[in-house]
Structure 1
Amino acid sequence: MKPVKRVEFIVDAHEVDNLLASLAKINIRSYTVIKEAYGNGERGLRGGDIFSNTFDNSYVLIACTDEEALAIVEKVRPILKSLGGMCLVSDAMWVIH
């Protein structure tokens, strides 16, 4: 196994492309996006509307080095501050196969 940082985002579905474009500028190109994430948070109940994507969230997962995690956080902090959303950074182990 290999130690990595796990960086997770919950952001408005309409902002995913902006987030990924910002990450590409710092050479982060490996990620997973799960659409239609839903839950309850500081902006109330979000997602789960089958008729419109107006209040949908998306989940973005990145496994990276410590240095990349720091660069990601600094790059996206202004985006999160202005648009909302959540970012979590934690330690993880990548299973090498």
Structure 2
Amino acid sequence: MIKLNPKKSLLIVLSLLLITLVLYFPKIYLINNIYYVSKDINKMYSHYISLKEENKFLAQQLEDMKFKNQIEDSLIIYSIEGNYGTKSN
């Protein structure tokens, strides 16, 4: 049987603490790393969603401008043709 004195007890406790830290440090590191990567992914995903919505909004504005430009062009062409048509008669 081992006789424990304060020095041996302290040595055993410190060695167990060291072994525990060596075994659990990689796990703790990986969990923290996964947490921060997940946090970054969520931040980027929310930014992606907002950019996607902004893209839809801008595409709709572009479509409205194209439609408005097409209408104005047809009205200008119609008025030009109308002016030439009345002068030639």
TM-score for both structures, normalised by structure 1: 0.21
* RCO higher in structure (CA 8 A, sep ≥6): 1
Between structures 1 and 2, the one with greater strand share: 1
Greater radius of gyration (CA): 2
TM-score for both structures, normalised by structure 2: 0.23
